[in-house]
Amino acid sequence: MPMYDLTIIIPTFKEEANIAAIIREVDTVFSKNAINGEILVVDDNSPDRTIPIVRELQQTKPNVRLVVRKNDPGLSQSVVEGFRKAQSDILLVIDADLSHPPSHIPRMLAEIRAGNDIVIGSRYMKGGGIQKWPLKRRIISLGATFLGRLLFPEIHDPVSGFFAVKKSVVEGAPLKPRGYKILLEVLGKGHWKTAKEIPFEFVDRAVGSSKLGPETIIDYAVQVIDNARYSWNHHDSIVWQEWKKLFKFGMVGLSGIVVNEGLLIYLKEYVQLALPVASIIAIELSIMSNFILNDLWTFGADQGEHALGSGWQRFASFQFVSVGGAAINFVILNVLAAWVGIDYRIANVLGILVAFLWNFVVNRRVTWKKQKY
């Protein structure tokens, strides 16, 4: 039997101004909700008073533990060390600077107990948000989130620092902790099936200093690529499911070319329609056949319930996106050929590729969005 119901992992570096308050708040949440919880502070040998403050609190709170790291400093490394040292089967990571309200802990614990493998405190979903962030930070954060969502389209906030996870998800997982976004690593390489997000309002730190530097952006880009690569060899990973969808979507797109071309020839040569009329019909029918194949196969029944309940709604959405894709193809071809001077055949291939990505990403996110709540 594990010693505790839950371990709260608090990574710290120079948090003397916040550490006592966060520990007290978490402990109050524990007592109010009858949670037998452990508080594990993982500190990178802070030169300020963080360590003595934690040691002092330990005198009165036996459930507070402190790990002081001397090698390989880093937020993600510290969290992973916390995963290993935790004395419970449920792990919850929270920042020390009170950006993540501890009042959400009981709900997150309950969602794990209800059977979810991962529960994410989400800033980017209805009900969530960020208080008082300068524009630059918002843009960087949204960029990181967008990249993360390419791997995990179902997850609004795949880079949140506030999340709970079953120990079994990370045990034995080949995590390569680096940088700031440990959640992405857990999602990419952990053993999980179900994730749940709960919205929360991120409160910007009132005191203490931020350690976010430009190298974190590069670290993160490398991490995203590494996780995409990892999934290539691990077909049980969630990311691999996305590659499969992308591949199927591409196959359906190719089949659409055959339908379009075949119909065009048939309508022009045998039905003897005028070319513009034959072309419009051929294009529309290929959009329809693409829709049917994607609906049944690419995003078929095994994907779970669709958010857009009726097939007609999905078709309308697909039609709309397809017209947008055609417009993108048209604009890129003409701009590159006429203004940039690129050979029109190459310009068209580039236009087709961008339109394909547009079609996939938007249809994945809108047309065949999954029913979640």
Interacting residues toward Mg ion by CB under 5 A: 95, 97, 99, 205
Nearer to Mg ion, 16 or 95 (CB): 95
Is the separation of the CB atoms in 231 and 243 below 8 Å?
yes
Q: Which is nearer to Mg ion, 38 or 97 (CB)?
A: 97
Shortest distance (Å) from residue 85 CB to Mg ion: 22
Nearest to 185, CA basis, from 238, 141, 233, 116: 238
Contacting positions for ligand GTP (CB under 6 A): 11-13, 15, 42-44, 73-75, 78, 95-97, 99, 161, 205, 210-212
CA dihedral 238→242→243→244, nearest 10 degrees, is 100
Which is closer to ligand GTP, CB of 25 or CB of 284? Answer: 25
Q: How far apart are CA 184 and CA 76, in angstroms?
A: 10
Joined tokens for residue 314: 């999905």
Q: Which of residues 68 and 326 has its CB atom nearest to ligand GTP in the complex?
A: 68
Alpha carbon separation from 309 to 169, 346, 353, 359 (Å, rounded): 32, 40, 30, 20
> What does 74 interact with, of ligand GTP, Mg ion, none (CB < 5 to 8 A by kind)?
ligand GTP
Q: Where are the beta strands (DSSP E) in the chain?
A: 6-12, 37-43, 64-68, 90-93, 118-122, 129-131, 163-166, 195-199, 201-203
Q: Which is nearer to ligand GTP, 14 or 149 (CB)?
A: 14
Q: In whole angstroms, how close is the CB of 182 to ligand GTP at the nearest point?
A: 10
| DSSP conformational letter for 48 | S
| Shortest separation between residue 74's beta carbon and ligand GTP, angstroms | 5
Radius of gyration, alpha carbons of the chain: 25
Residues forming beta bridges with residue 66, ordered by sequence position: 41
Distance of closest approach, residue 181 Cβ to ligand GTP, in angstroms: 10
Q: Are 221 and 147 in contact (CB under 8 A)?
A: yes
Q: Among residues 43 and 117, whose Cβ is nearest to ligand GTP? A: 43
Q: Write down the least CB distance from residue 210 to Mg ion, Å.
A: 7
CB of 146 to ligand GTP, least distance (A): 17
Q: Report the nearest approach of ligand GTP to the CB of residue 75 (Å).
A: 4
Residue 130, SS3 per DSSP: strand
- 3 state SS of 288: helix
How many angstroms separate the CA atoms of 204 and 118, rounded?
24
Nearer of residues 24 and 113 to ligand GTP, judged by Cβ = 24
